Chain A
Amino acid sequence: MSGRKRSFTFGAYGGRSDGQKHSFPQTLNVLLVDSVPSHPASPYPKNTDLFEMIEKMQGSRMDEQRCSFPPPLKTEEDYIPYPSVHEVLGREGPFPLILLPQFGGYWIEGTNHEISSIPETEPLQSPTTKVKLECNPTARIYRKHFLGKEHFNYYSLDTALGHLVFSLKYDVIGDQEHLRLLLRTKCRTYHDVIPISCLTEFPNVVQMAKLVCEDVNVDRFYPVLYPKASRLIVTFDEHVISNNFKFGVIYQKLGQTSEEELFSTNEESPAFVEFLEFLGQKVKLQDFKGFRGGLDVTHGQTGTESVYCNFRNKEIMFHVSTKLPYTEGDAQQLQRKRHIGNDIVAVVFQDENTPFVPDMIASNFLHAYVVVQAEGGGPDGPLYKVSVTARDDVPFFGPPLPDPAVFRKGPEFQEFLLTKLINAEYACYKAEKFAKLEERTRAALLETLYEELHIHSQSMMGLGGDDDKMENGSGGGGFFESFKRVIRSRSQSMDAMGLSNKKPNTVSTSHSGSFTPNNPDLAKAAGISLLIPGKSASRFGRRGSALGIGAVEESLIVPGKSPTRKKSGPFGSRRSSAIGIENIQEVQEKRESPPAGQKTPDSGHVSQEPKSENSSTQSSPEMPTTKNRVESAAQRTEVLQGFSRSSSSASSFTSVVEETEGVDGDDTGMESVSSSGTPHKRDSFLYSTWLDDSVSTTSGGSSPGLTRSPHPDAVKSGDPACPEIKIQLETSEQHTPQMGC
């Protein structure tokens, strides 16, 4: 029995990733033979790093013996412990759904459940409450905007920020040119979309990185030359995404105040059965094909059935205390607690009025509880009172409970409850224990990504083993097709040259990793690699050829400068042919656009972009027009939400757009574009955008200082944005720890 590995979005990726990993040691060993000092001689130093990091993080845990000390006393109030549950039960009811532990450590939401305060005819749930599922849009940006499209990837090592992986893309949104920038550091990922018109001069790669993160302090970035790089990068970005959740469901009967009592309950009341049916569908565990959440689906070791739900493309497996195996004579009921105790979020269902205290269940995992208490509702169906509690370091999560916190059974409450549970899990990942784990995991994964990109890029330039070249050399069409692909690719690499201060150092002979298996551009790699053996005959020859290309490029832009031929020989005829083709393309471009953009070398490089884009389009004519339109609409939606204005209509539109973004977050890697607002409204919004850009340009700033009106939903306002980030198009950048099964 082997569960699916959830590090990857698709099963097929897993196999490919394994293949990639297998190729790693060969390259590493060859590099070691070549005495490359930049790589560690053995994995042991990393062992020391990780273990020392853990040791520092946990301090002298051994001395504590993991006994649960009360939390540190922060305020005067904490010196007086809260009453124990037994003291409270000794008084006269009714009792709250949740009591704080005697030494605190938790917060509570939803303390008013007075139903009589509402007239019977009014809806119990406030219509203004928005049931919004949190999402992590930053983790999906690469797949949405870069993967399979023409873009560039770079890597570098910053003394303060650590390993950096940088993706950039020229984007036309509407009829305006933008740079889309995505920079990954060990702490977080920065994303920005910058109008080119706001820049006084076209920036190089280092300057672009500073636009999204001013703290970047490196001399240069190195281009990623590995055809499979995009797959590695998207795997890293999405390691925090999971569409599988497991939640505990604990049944608390009247008078039960200890976990031993909670886990020893076998009978289910009719109200609890009704609640379980409302929560999800009952499934047989034997041969169950969905997300099993650690339950046994082959040998029947964890009971015969459970409750399961698929909610907005997210699979939820519930661990129901009464359905897990009961062991006679086991006070702790280990067979039940080993599942529920390893959940992070749990639902507590109460038939009657006995308070739940969150420290009843000893677990390092359980951080949040949603307590639901049944109330006889009469002919209209049952009513449910709801309270929520979580550890102090768990941030608040929505949707907020109405006041009073009473719901009538129905699809609206189900949607509310499931959303609350999923958002609770996301919020718990920000608690100290889990945030530390994710921080360390992210740093390690980014370092691994950096090293893989570095090794493969070196190998592609002939600085490593021959295996990759042999592999890439296989296949390929006829000579003419290969030649055309080479010319097209060279044009793109010229674009790369234009983006760097030191052109000779960044010349590349292959596209920077925007290939996908279904993309016809994949053939470019084969075509390019056909020439690599010849070019790698001598390093001097390669450099000469590169310099020659650069010189030709410059002469085309600056007519006054005479072309310089660095080297003559067998490559002479090819260079002449290339020049000829470039001239033809140049003439075509001049016809298309007037020569207004030819004033400076930088603007000349900018003018190269349209040609490259056209070339890319021509290389895949079979792409359906509808897809292009859909993508364009998606991009428009993407940029519109960032330019919110203070006017009420614009704010309202922005809110709608953000909801659209929220919906997109639910997709499992598939893009969906939903229309929001009327075309007229959108046009007027674009108009205000232009006006704002004009103002920014007038101010002469090298980058616009746009500000977004605060979003009314307090949940989405996470950490305050860094002042260095000029444009924040994403409403929330949350890092959810990775999940698997």
Chain B
Amino acid sequence: MREYKVVVLGSGGVGKSALTVQFVTGTFIEKYDPTIEDFYRKEIEVDSSPSVLEILDTAGTEQFASMRDLYIKNGQGFILVYSLVNQQSFQDIKPMRDQIVRVKRYEKVPLILVGNKVDLEPEREVMSSEGRALAQEWGCPFMETSAKSKSMVDELFAEIVRQMNYSSLPEKQDQCCTTCVVQ
């Protein structure tokens, strides 16, 4: 069974832990309890193929810069979460992707842009078109989810598995390209 290492990133209070716990246990955590670092493990079947997801739920604060570099260095797939009821969390998500590209030295890292809290539609601050445009610019999938109503949560984690599967196939070609660049 293949194992995938997924890192969930985003600024504070956007619902990283709620999304992860909803996916892993099927329950919603109403209480906001800021995370330092949590680790989850869950088996999942994607396109008839069983897999194990190891999910690293990270802190929303930039207090430890080296720590985040370490997460990115050791992660395979990344879920970037903002809250669509918080414009700042959407602004905060852009430098995180830049950091991923810088640490991985690769622009096609498996990545999904997620706008969470879609159940709070009346308070929306970030339009779907903004999220979709950013995802298109990055060349990655875009989803709007709700950890509370469990909307698109399983689809999110299934999609990141597909992204990692898809990315692993042309690995050799990328190495060849890198070699050519070196020469």
Give chain A's interface residues, CB within 8 Å of chain B: 1-3, 5-7, 18, 21-22, 25-26, 29-30, 33, 43-44, 46-47, 49-51, 54-55, 58, 61-62, 65-66, 68, 239, 246, 294, 296, 298-299, 301-302, 332, 334-335, 337-339, 341-342, 344, 362-365, 433-434, 437, 440-441, 444-445, 465, 467, 737-741
Contacts and interface: CB of A to CB of B under 8 A. Distances in A.
B55 to A, nearest CB: 10
B133 interface: no
Given A1-B91, A29-B178, A296-B88, A65 B105 contact: no
A44 B2 CA distance: 13
Nearest to A42: B171
B66 A26 contact: no
B34 interface: yes
Interface stretch (B9-17, B135-143, B155-163): B9-17
Contacts of A342: 12, 34, 59-61, 63
B98 A50 contact: no
Contacts of A437: 36-37, 64, 67
A629 to B, nearest CB: 37
Contact of A302 (B59, B60, B88): B88
A740 B86 contact: no
Q: Size class of B's contact patch?
A: 35 or more
Contact of A338 (B12, B25, B39, B64): B12
Contact of A29 (B5, B29, B60, B182): B182
A561 B177 CA distance: 57
A538 B154 CA distance: 61
Interface string B37-76: 1111110000000000010100111111111011001111
B27 interface: yes
Contact of B75 (A47, A239, A363, A739): A47
Given A21-B105, A364-B33, A2 B56 contact: no
A136 to B, nearest CB: 15
B129 interface: no
A296 B91 CA distance: 9
B94 interface: yes
Nearest to B98: A2
Contacts of A299: 87-88, 91
B173 interface: no
Contacts of A441: 64, 66-67, 70
A338 B73 contact: no
B65 A338 contact: no
Contacts of B27: 65
Contacts of B76: 44, 47
A15 B66 CA distance: 16
Given A54-B37, A61-B38, A65-B21, 5 more contacts: A1-B92, A334-B13, A364-B34, A467-B182, A740-B65
A46 B60 CA distance: 24
B102 interface: yes
Contacts of A740: 62-66
